[in-house]
Amino acid sequence: MAASALTFQSTVKLLSGYEIPRLGFGVAYGFGKEEDPLELTKPGVLEALKVGYRHIDSAQLYRNEREVGEAVRESGLKREDVFVTSKVPDEGEPLASVDASLKALGFGKLNVLSYYFMDTLKTRYPDYIDLYLIHSPPAGKENRLTKYKALLEAKRQGKVRTVGVSNYNIHHIEEIREAGLELPSVNQVELHPFCQQRPIIEYCNKHNIAVEAYCPVIRGKLDDPVIVDIAKKHGKEPAQVLLRWSLQHDLIPLVRSSNPARILSNTQIYDFALDEDDVKRLDALDRGAEGAISWNPIDVV
């Protein structure tokens, strides 16, 4: 279990060989809240990059890849310094989806005033996606394997650096392993103290698959007495306690906000550590599948 040595710059080395930042900024605006993703995404991502996030998690389903790409390009950061994730939609064809995401993100665009700058900008904004996921397991083993193989082909073509999955249960990943295919580098699932998905985490840890946690702050439902008490003990906000819990369980939390103050405060989780009793109390909140607050489609057959 990770502890106080963690910093905002901490990364995890993936099976693909690439490094992924340990704290991610999610842009699933409009899910669970009445908000306009097109209005919130670009300023949210720009603010996140300004305060130090270097990991942005998007998806075609979120309808805001274009705004993510614009924010990354306008941030002044080098392309290689920002880890960008997107996902193939449930009914999408993977190779076409990758091409559509690349076009929307626009990292290969050359906004130049002079021909002489073109080679420089090509180097600065190479056209690739750091991580591409299957957003949720489609029905049927052969269908799942066909989609996964297509993403591996996109990786072979250099369009995607790392391939992963989302909302996959153990049997879904076992299908990949038994087919003799390269294992996914990442599995992104709903994870927080009320929905801990422990068998999935144990399986992924055994096979060196990094686990990303979405809904890590329970969509703002932070009034549980245990969470509130631990927050008071450390002089921290409940959301900060939950993010710290994720980090100390070696998860990669993906936290969403459109509020600049909250975007910053969600990064202020490296100056304290939960002790053993804190972790035990939070772990005891697990309700299994009943604790899920999102769609959590892990049982597709």
Alpha helices in 9-78 (DSSP H): 37-51, 65-74
**291: its two tokens:** 């604790």
Q: How far apart are CA 100 and CA 200, in angstroms?
A: 31
User: What residue has token string 């409940």?
Assistant: 238
Which residues are CB-neighbours of 266 under 8 A, at least 6 positions away?
23, 217, 239, 240, 243, 255, 257
Amino acid at 64: N
Catalytic residues: 62
C-alpha angle 204/199/224, rounded to 5°?
110
Alpha helices in the chain (DSSP H): 37-51, 65-74, 94-105, 118-124, 141-156, 170-178, 198-206, 225-234, 238-248, 260-265, 276-283
